[in-house]
Amino acid sequence: MAFARFGRDSDVYVYEDMQGGFTCERCPCIGQSYRCAKAREMVAHLIGFHRARGDRVPDETIVNLEREDSGKG
């Protein structure tokens, strides 16, 4: 499931990985894809790295990842 895709309102492509984690594809912050096990780790990555550098991260992406982390996703 994709939480965000590259586009007019998004500078990130984030999805739930088939291996049981989350991926920020082609992440410019680290020069490769960023993977983590927990949705809250991805939220921290998106806010701490992407939004901090001015990248567009849709609000709904953060909300949906937080829901996923709390078990309501």
* Angle 28-33-40 from CA coordinates, rounded to 5°: 95
Exposed, middle or buried, 21 (CB in 10 Å: 0-12/13-18/19+)? middle
Provide the pLDDT for residue 19.
Answer: 87
How far, in Å, CA of 70 to CA of 51, rounded? Answer: 22
How far, in Å, CA of 28 to CA of 38, rounded? Answer: 20
How far, in Å, CA of 53 to CA of 50, rounded? Answer: 5
Q: What is the mean pLDDT of each run of 10 residues along the chain (73 residues)?
A: 95 94 92 95 97 97 93 61
